[in-house]
Amino acid sequence: MKGVQMSKAIFTSAWVVWGSLLALLTVGCTSSDETAESESLVLIESDYYESGRLKPHSYHKSSIGYPDFRLTERRWMGEFPQHCDGLVGEEAYACAEQIFWHVFQFDLDGRAAAHDTMGELIARLDAEQSLEPELLAVLYWRRAQLGTALITEQELVTNGDYTNETLISYGPGLTLDMQKGMALAPGNDRIETWLITNQLFASVLFGGDVTEMAEDLVALYDEDPGFVVASAGPPLIAMPLSSGWPQRIAQMYLDFDESIVKASCDGECFAPGPLFAKYTREGADYTMAEIMARVGDREKTKYYLERSLSHDTADVWPHRDYPERALNNLDSFIGKFEARGQDEPVFDLMDINGKHACLVCHNPK
């Protein structure tokens, strides 16, 4: 884990792990009957596995029950006490998951309060040692994800203000949360991917060398291709063209896309996303389009923009105006990247690195 060690200055400056990598790109070839609506307000975790859409990870094993993320209205299970008071073990874990997903998708204004609540809950569970380390690690990661969302979607960090109050409040903490998560669950590749990505971006912002960290990210690809592609892509694609990373990441995305299309799914291997990322296909295709635009491939940019609008849920995708605007002025969509030349980064130009970076896939509407 060579890329995980960085200087104190970088840790205290670190601030964002890209929201679009939250898309949790999940590849599956499910049939339509497997995605049928359920009348149940709560799904047992095994239902996700049986659908074929969620890769079972060791930290997804609570039998307590989770909300049905296919519902589109704001909802709260109502089965847990406020702030998870008095809960221990897997009940506390399930309660924390409910808090996270509720504010992550539905109640954006409640994210800051939920971040504080999760911090208090995590501190209690850690002190009591009432939760398995690998599950506690995920809660640290969840709080880091909330910190990321607070910075990227609550604050327009792409406006060039890297010293705003939200950045100072949440940036260092989200890195420390992921470090604690890794210490508790060193085999959790997804937390490691987020941690390295966060450190990589902080290093780019403040003039560090990202070569080793970037290679560490790419080395994790075989462990979880879809997730690592989504993680490595947004920060590395925005680096200067002269670094070679945008071209390399663009090819990685193309190879990944080709591999799932070849999986005999007639081009629909991005099955309807996990219940908590229902626009995975649309968001992934728009990400592909931005990546292709970044490297100046007009034909593929147009292809992925059009494909993002072709899925059966695209008509109700809240962010369909992104590809529609791009298709209406393809020259401008590509040209803004070309204008930066070979030696300048383009972090501030990319939708997948800023406002709505998370909700482009996770919007529940």
3-state SS string for 215-270: HHHHHCHHHCHHHHHHHHHHHHHCCCHHHCHHHHHHHHHHHHHHHHHCCCCCCCCE
With DSSP H G I counted as helix, E B as strand and the rest as coil, what are the percentages for the chain, rounded to 5? 60, 0, 35
Q: Which residue has the tokens 């009348």?
A: 39
Transcribe 60-114 into DSSP letters: ----S-EE-TT--S------S-GGGTT--HHHHHHHHHHHHHIIIII-GGGHHHH
Per-residue tokens: 316: 């109700």
> What local confidence, expressed as pLDDT, does residue 202 receive?
72
d(CA 179, CA 191): 9
Q: What is the pLDDT of residue 204?
A: 67
Is residue 349 within 8 Å of residue 340, measured between CB atoms? yes
Q: What pLDDT was estimated at residue 256?
A: 84
Token pair, residue 248, equals: 């390399």
Q: Is the pTM of this model over 0.85?
A: no
- Residue 88 CB partners (closer than 8 Å, separation 6+): 125, 128, 130, 131
Question: Could you give the 3-state DSSP secondary structure of residue 16?
Answer: coil
Sequential DSSP letters for 130-183 = -S-HHHHHHHHHHHHHHHHHHHHTSS-GGGS-TT-HHHHHHHHHHHHHHHHHHH
**CA 364 to mean position of chain CA atoms:** 15
**Residue 186: predicted pLDDT:** 92
- 118, containing H or E segment: helix 111-128
Mean pLDDT by 10 residues, the chain (365 residues): 36 34 31 33 35 34 42 48 85 84 81 93 94 93 89 59 66 89 91 86 71 83 79 83 92 84 49 65 91 97 97 91 97 97 88 76 75
pLDDT digits (tens, 9 = 90+) for 225-257: 878 887 777 888 888 999 898 999 999 899 888
How far, in whole angstroms, is CA 225 from its chain's centroid?
14
Is 305 within 8 Å of 332 (Cβ atoms)? Answer: no
Strand-pairing partners, residue 43, are 66
pLDDT given for residue 76 in this prediction: 43
Quick one: pLDDT at residue 73? 45
Residue 315 has which token pair? 């008509």
In this prediction, residue 205 carries a pLDDT of 64
Bridging pattern class, strands 42-43 and 66-67: antiparallel
- DSSP 3-state of 42: strand
